[in-house]
Structures are given as C-alpha cells and as structure tokens.
Amino acid sequence: MSDQIVIHPLYAKLLEKFPESVVMDERQGFSGIVVQAITLLEVVKELRDNLGYDYLSSVTAVDDFPEERLEVIYHLFKSIGGAPVEIKVFLEREEPVVPSLTPMYPGAELQEREVWDLYGIRFDDHPDLRRILLWEGFEGFPLRKDWKEPLYEEDTKPFKSRWPEGKGERKELLNPYKDNVQYPREFDPNTLSGDVDQAMYKSLEYSDDPNSRVLQTDQMVVNIGPQHPSTHGVFRMTVVMEGETIVNLKPVVGYLHRNHEKIGERNTWLQNMPYTDRLDYLAPMSNNFGYAITVEKLMGIVPTERAEYIRVMMAELTRIASHTMTTGFLLNDLGAYFTPALYALEERELILDIFEEVAGSRMMVNYFRFGGVVRDVSPEVLKKIRHLVYNRLPRKIDELDKYISANEIVRIRCEGVGVLTADDAIAFSTTGPNLRASGVPYDVRRADPYSIYESLDFDVCTRDHGDVFDRYRVRIDEIHQSIRILKQVLDRIPEGPIMAGKPQYVAKVPAGEAYGRVEGPRGELGFYVVSDGKPNPKRYHVRAPSFINLTSLAQMCKGAKVADAVTILGAVDIVLGEVDR
Amino acid sequence: MAEIDLNNPEIDVPAELKQQIAVTTLDRIYNWSRSNSLWPMMFGLACCAIEMICTAASRYDLSRFGMEVMRPSPRQADVMIVSGTVTKKMVPQIVRLYNQMSEPKYVIAMGACASGGGPFKEGYNVVPGVDKFIPVDVYVAGCPPTPQALLHGLIILQKKIEGEHIPDTRWYKKCVVEAIPIPILGPDIIDPRHFELIKEETHKPLPVVEEVVEGGETA
Amino acid sequence: MNGIGIIKGLLITLKHFFDTYIFDFGRKQKNLTPDDKRGMVNSSGLFTIQYPEEVLAASEEFRVIPFLVYETAENGDHKYRCTSCGICAKVCPTQCIFITRKKDAETGKPIPSPEEFYIDTDKCMNCGFCAEYCPFDAIKMNHDFELATYVRGDTHIYNKEMLGKPVEYYAKIRPVNYALEVAEKAEKAEKATAA
C-alpha cells in the first residue's frame, strides 16, 4: 500500500534538480526521499515555491538504535489536496543538527520543539528552541531507544513477569524511592534552583522602552493556567499585556504529557488501540479510526464493507458529539455560564449512550480492530441512531443555532475577534474547522479520501472571515453535514461480516512505514508508524491537530484584549490529552 | 428524609412532630450541613474531567447533593476532585492548590490514574497515584469512572464526613497542620521530603549501584 | 433591534422549563418505552436521572473491571473456568493481570488452573481485551461501577477470590452473550456426539 504514496514524477524532478544531495529511500516498505541536512532548505523551498507543497503537516523523528542514526521526517501536502511528499534527513546520534523549517513554515515551530525535547535533535535558526512537553532541566531525551524510564521492565510488552509466575505487586515499590523517579549519579538536590520557567519568560521579549508603548504603563506578564476554568484542562498561556491588550503570548504545554508515544512503542500493535481513545478524549472513535487505517495500510488489509459503514457512522456521531460540546463550552468561555453547555451535553449524552451500547464504554470505546470493528451494530441500535439522526438531533441543533447565532452579545464578542487569514492559516499548519473558517476548503475526507467518504455526498463547509464567530459557524455547519452523511450511511449500510479475517490478538505487520490521516473533529489527525516486522511498533507518532493548531494562537491573540484570548482559545478547541499526549 | 437523618435515634420524638422537630447532637447537625454543601473545585486534569463535567451537567446533576457550586478558586472549595492523570510537571501545582484550600478539605482521586497511575503508570512523566503527595479520602475506580460512579464516590465521601467527630478531626486540634512541601522539578520530580534519601542513593559507591540496577531489571 | 436575539434565547430556556411539565403530562397517557423515560431520547425538559434512587440501566456490553467466571460444584467448591493459559495477561495493554500457574505438587508439571490471579485495578483501563480474547470464556467484564473506597493499600489489587463471580451472575448481567455462548457449546457438543 505504501507504494501508492510514491509520486514518481515529482521525486524524479527533485532528483534531477538536486542530483548530489537527494536520493530515494530504497528500504523495503519505505518511501520518500532522503535529503542531506545542508540542502534541506533548498529542497523544501523548491517544493513550496515551485511545486505547490505549501502545507507542512508533520515533523517527527525516528531513532534507528542500535544503528548510530536518527531520522527527521517531514510530511508536506498541497493545500488543494493530494498525497504527501515525504522528506527524510539522516543524522548522527551524537549532536544531531538540522536546519529549522520554522522561518519557512511557522507551523513547524511547536513540532520542532517537540522533536528537540524528546529526541535531542537541535534545529538551527529555530526562534525559540526550548523543551516543550517536559521541563528545562529534565535528564535525557526520553524517546531515544536507549533511554529507560524509572519503571522500566522490558523493551516490549508482554512482560515476562506477568505469566506464568505473576505476582500481584506494584512495580514502583521496587524503586529505592518507592516512586516513579530516577536521578543521575552524584546528584545533589540541594544545588537545585527549581526555576524551570526562566527561559520561557526570557523568550517573551517584552520591551522596557517606554517610547514603544501606547499606554504610559509597564507591560505586565500574566500566567493563565494551568489551573484555570477556561483553559479547557491543564493548558497554560503566558501573556504579556499592555493595559488590557495582549502584546505577546506563549502557550506552555506538557502538563498532561502522559508519554503516549514511549508507551506506544513498548505496546504491541493491538494494545495501542485503547490508548488512542485517551488521546482526544472527546472524539475517541476518530482516534481509533486514524490508527486503524494507518496500520491497515501497513498490513495491506482492507476492512469489510459493513465495517467501513459502521466506522464512518461512528466517526460522524463522534464529530457531532464533539462539536456540540465545543460550541457549548465556547459559550461558557464567553460567560454564558453553563446553560448552553448543559443543552449541548444532553445531546452528547444520548450519543454516548449509543457508544456504550455498541462498544461498551461511554468514552473509551476501543471499538476498532485491524480489518473491521469489534462488534456488530444490532438492528435495535441502528433504529436508535436513525431516531436520533432523523428526529432529535436536527431539531436540537437548530435550537442551539437559533439561540446562539442571533444573540447580540455572542456576535459582538465573536465577530472580528482572533482573525486568521487564509495564508496565515496554511502557513501555521492549522487544520480542521479553524482552517476552513479562514476560507480554505481543506478537509481530509475530500482532499485525501479514505474509507467510503468518496462515495458519500457532503459539502466541505467554509467561511470567509476567519474569526471566532466563523469557527463556531463552521462547526454548526459541519454538524448538519454529519447528519447528512449519517442519513446516507443508515440508508445504505449493507449486511455482511464486520471483520476481514479472524480476530487475532497478534497483528502481523510487515516492515515498513505508513502515514495515515483522518479528519477528526479538530482537524487532520495523523499517525506515523514504522514497523520493523516485530510485534511492536518501532515508531509510533501522533500528529495531533489541536497541538499544531496552538501554533497560531499567539498570532490570533496579538492585539486582542485579554478577555478575548479566552474566547479565541475556546474557538481553537484544544483537547489537552491530544496536545500533550 | 433529612429530618429523619438528623434526629438522634435515642431520643423519641412523637410521630406527628417529626416533620417539625429534630433533636440531635452538635456533631451530627454540623456534619450533616457540611456534607450537604460540599463545594468541589473546578479543576480538571484529563479524560476523567469530561466525566466530571457530565456529572455536573443536567443528566446526573450534582446540585441534587448540594455540590453544584464548582469553584475555580481553591480558597472557596471543600473538595478537590483529582480527575485524571497526575503528571510530574503538574504535581507541584496540585500540591500548591491543595495547600491553598481552606480546611476542612477533602480529596477524591477520580479514576485509575489519580488513584495509582492508571494505564500510563509506566510513563516517565506520570506520578503513580496522587496519594504519593497529598492525602486522599476517597478513591473512585474506573477508567474513566462513569458519572454515576463518581456520584457514588461523592456519596461515600458524604458518609465519611457524617461519621466525623469534631474533637477528633485533625483541623480542630491545637497543633498546626503543616503545609505539604511543594515538589521541585529537577532532573526528575523531587519530593522535598526525600532529599536525604536521594542524596544517599545517588552517592552510593558505583559498583553497588550497578548490582542494584541489574537486580532490579531481572526481578 | 438590539436585544431581540437575547430575548429569543431566553424564550428557549423558558420553553425548556415548561417542556418538563408538558412532557410529564403527556407521559401519563401512553405506553412507556425505555426511551420515554427522563433523560432518554424522547424526553424533553428536565433531563435528570435520580441516581442513587434510580440507576441508569447499563447496556449489555458495558464494562468496568473484569471478573473471573466460576461454576459452583455440588459440594460448594468454586470451579474456575480459567486454565491460566496467559492470553489475557499477554494481551492486556497495561499489563495489569498477574497469573501464577498451578503446579502439580509432586511432579512440578503445570496444571491448567490458576494458583493465583491478580488484577491491579489501579492500572486497569477497562478496555475489555482480556474478555474479548479469552478462548475459554473465563474472564468477563463486570457491570458493577460502585467501587469507591476509602483506602488503597493492597485492596486495589484484586485477587482470585475478589475477582470470582458465579456463572449465574454472568448470565444475569449479559443475557444475550450468555445465550450465544450456551448455544455455541451445545452445537459443539452435538457435533462431538455425531462424530
């Protein structure tokens, strides 16, 4: 399947233009081009300016341990749709340095910081290269294969200590500190300053020069979060203000960094499925979907037809549940304390009831398997979904629309606030409703169709102003489109098996790599997996839409009032489980 | 129902007066009033926070228990629902919030993560249970616990409060309840209470340490 | 005119208030299905389920912590279906299942039965893989969510006795699955006798 990604004419063009520094990646199961670090900028510039690859989707790295090599991997797309071009840079493990793409694609900023944080790859000319998910002063680069966590047992699951001689004991009790910690040798805690935010405050670059200011007051640094009612979790932003106006803003994340990728590389392929539920916990079905299609790409299996319909049905239900909740909480952030959110949550509860019936759990569904889904949807449940889709949801969504969209306070607070132009939105790698609200009709379901979306009839909703109100409107429009999709799916769903082949708990995944992406409620959710033929992934990376959407937050907030920053953040719609992973 | 709860069973109140009069003890009326006006802190960490929001929303409705007033400020909150994975980066803030809460204060560890690390326990940035740092009153199992499970946990907490005895509770005693030292972020999370132990362990002679490491791996 | 939108919104809130009474009034006259209850798909207005007096019915597939199925012998012994094959321990994503295989006291050969069986409920993520891949239908997901406790200690590591539940309990909480299972077994037995 991975052969399909290869766009030979394009790579041929690049090979011709840069004969000395570009080669094809010729490993079995791999694709893309390998570029030397020194010519990376030239190649990318050619791709962006002359070949139309204006959208940088994902930046990540792979550790080839025990080989002395690190790879940096870029996925670039055209904002008009189509398959990606994949660029790799091979680096030495000692002191790896690669030029930063942030000046060219501002959307790379947070992703490059993440790679620096977890792999220790330095990006030259990066404007603000600091640790992002962990804190300054953390010992080691945790995603390197030779780095071991304090509760390390074995490289891969299943652990041998569980069977046949398993003793029910807590692993942390074997640690000398009775806790999940480890310290370097000769470490003396008394020498510690404990100030981990110094570099962050330094990077805020606010000026002391009174002539540059409008107001005759000092600029002020305010921390919002990590415990704040309107940061949607444990998100923190540090805001430099002049009076009430935001001069600069830095998102500070990592307060929910649960080591998803490190754990994912210890897990077997199947064991990652329930973990993906906990990424974007407002849209677990979409996460399952993304992971399932990525691994299926590698395995070369195709799910059965009925399974495809069930998958799409569940993904669209999730989208409705997630968008209603976002809308409700956007109003919360505006100060309409809880009433709209309560109405939105009622509809979400009914959708969660359906998830509980088909998958067994309200939120952590764990419903998809490679080649299908775990359980069939019974006729009674289908009837319930039909009832919801035809009778209740359209009525309720219209009601939501009616009492929010016309509300004068909502309009004053939202219109013209947090504007992001189309060019900026693409440059910042924004995805999902945020991108479409800026007028870019980019939806993975249409741009790079997966599953059965090609055969379904729906519109890509866009709006033109790129402000908070348009983001809200796009979400309401998308709910209507999802209902439209659901109606088609319910009418056409065929009978038949729900799994291709027999259910197996050991997935046989051949060596190779795959990048799969789906349009989740928050945008392009990508999974990049690398297999070396073993039962566990060698690399498991999540391209989290809400993490990357945060890159443009500072751009949107500059010049706005501090109360609007909360609204803008609410409209960007982040889920911390996905931001921090 | 509340009147019956309040009445001291040893004192017989005539049936016709039961709706109007309750003879009770100070402990009982004090605990009764406290347990029915618990204000949780509006503070979400991870997935469980969404279920906590659902619990507060219309279908499960915390206000039936007098808990609808979710306060974002720790000063005004009685109960802290630790709803989600406690990471090392977040734990200094959680301890700080706990210290800032005024007494009497209670902590509910909601879900597997807050109770004991949960599915992410083996991760390098995860604290295996919030009770490593702050005392926990009620553990609610589940990943995530459904809103009904959280309500059950809150009812259990109410029961605990109703069983309290004023002279015995730690915050009414003469001695000062000391604040919990705030963990420090260093090469890893450092609990200030373990300073000596850390110094001792990291300065152990090298060969011994190697043996310990090997032993730990094979165990 | 300014303010119309706000008034419209407030009217909708008011409508929700009256809906409660209209819904109650209408409910008395027709046959009630589960969907007509409060907090269900046909309800309007008040949406609350009065837990703990009234519990939202768990669907068949609902899952919390796993339990081990045993059959009760005539003398009252618990015969666990588990053969300690270890598939659940291998497939468990959080590796929270610990099994010690029983061994014959004299020969030291393994016996297909668990000596000890632990589940660390502080790690369990309720994913249901163990029940899904168990070839002997020996481990199933429980519906009981009322598990809040005051202390953690070792009580959160469930041992075999705490995990064990009679087969009748399983039949009660998962009737459809149980019926399927019985039918499958009967079919197998029939085939065996035919051969």
B36-172 CATH fold: Rossmann fold (3.40.50)
DSSP string, A308-332: HHHHHHHHHHHHHHHHHHHHHHHHH
Q: Which phi and psi (to 5°) does residue A72 adopt?
A: -110, 135
Residues A381/A493, Cβ–Cβ less than 8 Å:
no
- Burial class from Cβ neighbours inside 10 Å (0-12, 13-18, 19+) for residue A160 reads exposed
Closest CA to A168 of C64, C112, C114, B145: C114
Q: pLDDT averaged over chain B?
A: 82
Three-state secondary structure readout of A498-523: CECCCCCCCCCCCCEEEEEEEEECCE
Greater confidence, C54 or A218? C54
Residues A93/A69, Cβ–Cβ less than 8 Å:
yes
- Burial class from Cβ neighbours inside 10 Å (0-12, 13-18, 19+) for residue C112 reads exposed
Q: Which two tokens stand for residue A448?
A: 């790079």
Q: What is the pLDDT along chain B (219 residues), one digit of tens a residue?
A: 444 466 666 777 777 877 777 778 888 888 888 888 888 888 888 888 889 888 888 888 888 888 878 888 888 888 999 988 999 888 998 999 999 888 888 999 998 888 888 888 888 889 888 888 999 999 998 888 999 999 999 999 988 888 888 887 777 777 777 788 888 888 888 888 888 888 888 888 765 444 444 444 443
C-alpha–C-alpha distance, residues A462 and A466, integer Å: 9
In this predicted structure, which of A14-18, A219-223, A306-310, C66-70 has the lowest mean pLDDT? A14-18
ipTM of this complex prediction, to 2 decimal places: 0.90
Q: Which phi and psi (to 5°) does residue C57 adopt?
A: -60, 130
Instruction: Give the count of beta carbons closer than 10 Å to the beta carbon of residue A335.
Output: 13
Q: What is the pLDDT of residues C28-68, one digit of tens each?
A: 666 677 777 777 887 888 888 888 888 888 888 888 889 99
Residues B46/B84, Cβ–Cβ less than 8 Å:
yes
The answer to whether the CB atoms of B58 and C47 lie below 8 A apart is yes
Q: Pairing state of beta strands A97-99 and A122-124?
A: parallel
Q: Is A265 helix (H, G, I), strand (E, B) or coil?
A: helix
Q: Locate the domains of chain B by residue range.
A: 2-34, 36-172, 184-218
Domains of chain C: 1-57 (no CATH), 66-186 (3.30.70.3270)
- Whether B214 has its CB under 8 Å from any CB of chain A: the answer is no
Supply the angle between the helices A468-492 and A562-572 in degrees, to the nearest 10.
20
C-alpha–C-alpha distance, residues C126 and A290, integer Å: 21
Q: Which phi and psi (to 5°) does residue C4 adopt?
A: -60, -45
Q: What is the pLDDT of residues A264-275, one digit of tens each?
A: 998 999 999 999
The answer to whether the CB atoms of A168 and C116 lie below 8 A apart is yes
Domains of chain A: 2-124 (3.30.460.80), 303-507+548-572 (1.10.645.10)
Nearest CA in chain A to C110: A164
Selected for mutation to probe chain B from C53, C97, C122, C127 (highest B CB count within 10 Å) is C122
Nearest CA in chain C to A348: C41
C-alpha–C-alpha distance, residues C42 and C34, integer Å: 9
Q: Give the DSSP letter of residue A348.
A: H
Residues B185/B87, Cβ–Cβ less than 8 Å:
no
Number of residues that this document lists for chain C: 195
Q: What is the pLDDT of residues A289-304, one digit of tens each?
A: 999 999 998 888 899 9
Q: Is the dihedral of CA C40, C43, C44, C46 positive or negative?
A: negative
Nearest to A166 among C4, C93, C99 (CB): C99
Query: Percent of chain A scored above 90 by pLDDT?
Result: 20
The answer to whether the CB atoms of B187 and A255 lie below 8 A apart is no
Residues A250/A338, Cβ–Cβ less than 8 Å:
no
Q: What is the pLDDT of residues A314-323, one digit of tens each?
A: 999 999 999 9
Q: What is the pLDDT of residues A409-434, one digit of tens each?
A: 888 888 888 889 998 899 999 998 99
Nearest to C93 among B60, B119, B139 (CB): B119
Closest CA to B104 of B155, B180, B169: B169
Nearest CA in chain B to A275: B119
